[in-house]
Homo-oligomer: A and B are copies of this chain.
């Protein structure tokens, strides 16, 4: 029987996996942002010597996986599984990145919620005794995403103020059955929520109800309160979605405002790097997590955080056919010490 469940959507781990290492590689624009010093590598251009943006994205993911393996003092043969996905059609960034790794692979699709989804499933696999070392990873690329989801970059189309800027970047995490933390202690898995928003240039508004639902459910399930966390960090709602989420939670009697931030808000400088509503893309929350958040947890700036990655599960086809935007958010509790 399911003795590891807590409430309706949450699991509590008996053997919390350690995040033994993380790695991040980002593009040039991200490397000019306020979190630059936290990334392992900053690219000089968006192509990194490749002939297409898709190949560049796949290379970024491949090299960030290689980096986390070596930073964790492992070799590929030590890794039992890799869980990974991305935004490109048929998740080709992931499959081409992983194909030479010789690591058993489970492909995921959670749009920009993928980092939390991969961390959640990797944690279950390790806590349950099915693996000793699992990699969770995801990537995105500004140019490949614009090309696929919006307009050819060459058109120079004007972006609405509510639109977010897809991050070029990748974050990977190596989870292990042994180690000294940081630990993943809880996961709260989201349901799909669709409040009828159809504006693809306002993803933050579309995802906010899913974010607030999962955060609210996390506190209901665990009996914890917001002050049990030093930081509750969503990714990637941007400025608009973050504000809506905050308001929705206040209506539910759950005040997180004084410890709430968003990876899409943090990764770019609002004044200096005008990206309109902030950053987005799987690689946004992944690189902010693998870079800034992980390092600040190690330093105990944050002893305990709730990492909530959010995804908009639309496609250009579904929008062209008049559909609204289904969204999802998954939450992961990460803390420096086991208890």
Contacts and interface: CB of A to CB of B under 8 A. Distances in A.
Q: How many copies, total? A: 2
Given A96-B318, A191-B104, A130 B4 contact: yes
A214 to B, nearest CB: 9
A44 to B, nearest CB: 22
B130 A313 contact: no
A313 to B, nearest CB: 4
Contacts of A81: 189
B90 A321 contact: no
Interface residues of A, number: 67
Contacts of A100: 194
Interface string A43-75: 000000001101100000000000000000000
A190 interface: yes
Interface in A76-96: 80-81, 85, 87-92, 94-96
B109 A189 contact: no
A111 B105 CA distance: 13
Interface centre among A55, A90, A132 (most CB of B within 10 A): A90
A243 interface: no
A42 interface: no
Given A90-B89, A106-B110, A107-B110, A192 B321 contact: no
A323 to B, nearest CB: 7
B4 A90 contact: no
Given A54-B317, A129-B3, A192 B109 contact: no
A113 B178 CA distance: 31
B92 A314 contact: yes
A170 interface: no
B323 A96 contact: yes
Nearest to A90: B315
Interface string A1-20: 11111000101000000000
A121 interface: yes
Contacts of A191: 101-105
Given A109-B108, A318-B92, A99 B130 contact: no
A208 B132 CA distance: 29
Interface in A190-207: 190-194
Contact of A317 (B88, B318, B323): B88
Interface string A113-136: 000010011001111111110000
Interface centre among A3, A54, A318 (most CB of B within 10 A): A318
A308 to B, nearest CB: 14
Interface in A169-198: 177-178, 189-194
Contact of A2 (B87, B129, B192, B326): B129
Given A90-B109, A108-B109, 5 more contacts: A11-B130, A54-B317, A99-B313, A99-B326, A128-B128
